[in-house]
């Protein structure tokens, strides 16, 4: 009987810890991809500036993919990324199944006004409450300043 109680206590502690660890591992996808979006925006900005088209960032305000798979993964769909001119210009695509949807909103032209953010949202446990990861870049007189990553409900 004591053995059953000890095993039940171990399971009660181990299962939630394992679930948190699994979700935390999935968040690395979002962090890596918003960094790729940030880098893509920097390259796009430098290219647009050198070509004389102004101090601009690329605006992709809609989330891709635009549906919610719940706690499952979005399936592989390379054409979803390659057929979109904004994602292509950022050289961003996800060739494997993934947990998060992405966007990169941009606004303004010129130092002190122009900014962009890269954002990832996902519902890791299927309860229709999203985790959100955001990185922001602001154009200043000295260049582009990167914000710290803002995380809302990391393990949701």
Which of residues 3 and 144 earns the better pLDDT score? 144
Average pLDDT on 3-25 reads 71
Environment class of 84 (CB within 10 Å of its CB; exposed 0-12, middle 13-18, buried 19+): middle
Q: Give the residues across from 117 on adjacent strands.
A: 136
Contact 56, 106 (CB under 8 A): yes
This prediction has a pTM of 0.84
Which tens digits make up the pLDDT trace of 60-83?
Answer: 999 999 888 788 899 999 899 999
Average pLDDT over residues 49-70: 84
Q: In this predicted model, what pLDDT tens digit does every residue of 109-139 receive, in sequence order? A: 888 889 999 999 998 888 888 999 999 999 9
Of the two residues 142 and 51, the one the predictor is more confident about is 142
Report which DSSP code applies to 67.
S
> Cis ω on the peptide bond leading into residue 152 (within 30° of 0)?
no
Distances in whole angstroms, Cα of residue 22 to Cα of each of 15, 53, 99, 124: 11, 45, 12, 10
């Amino acid at each position: 009987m004591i053995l059953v109680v000890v095993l039940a206590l171990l399971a009660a502690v181990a299962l939630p810890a394992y679930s948190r660890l699994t979700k935390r591992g999935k968040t690395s996808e979002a962090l890596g991809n918003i960094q790729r979006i940030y880098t893509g925006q920097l390259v796009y900005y430098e290219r647009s500036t050198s070509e004389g088209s102004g101090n601009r960032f690329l605006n992709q305000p809609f989330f891709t993919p635009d549906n919610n798979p719940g706690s499952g993964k979005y399936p592989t769909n390379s054409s979803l990324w390659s057929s979109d001119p904004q994602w292509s210009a950022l050289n961003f695509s996800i060739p494997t199944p993934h947990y998060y949807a992405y966007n990169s909103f941009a606004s303004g032209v010129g130092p002190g006004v122009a900014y962009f953010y890269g954002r990832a949202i996902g519902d890791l446990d299927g309860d229709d409450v999203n985790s959100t990861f955001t990185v922001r870049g602001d154009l200043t007189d000295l260049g582009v300043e990167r914000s710290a990553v803002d995380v809302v409900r990391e393990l949701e």
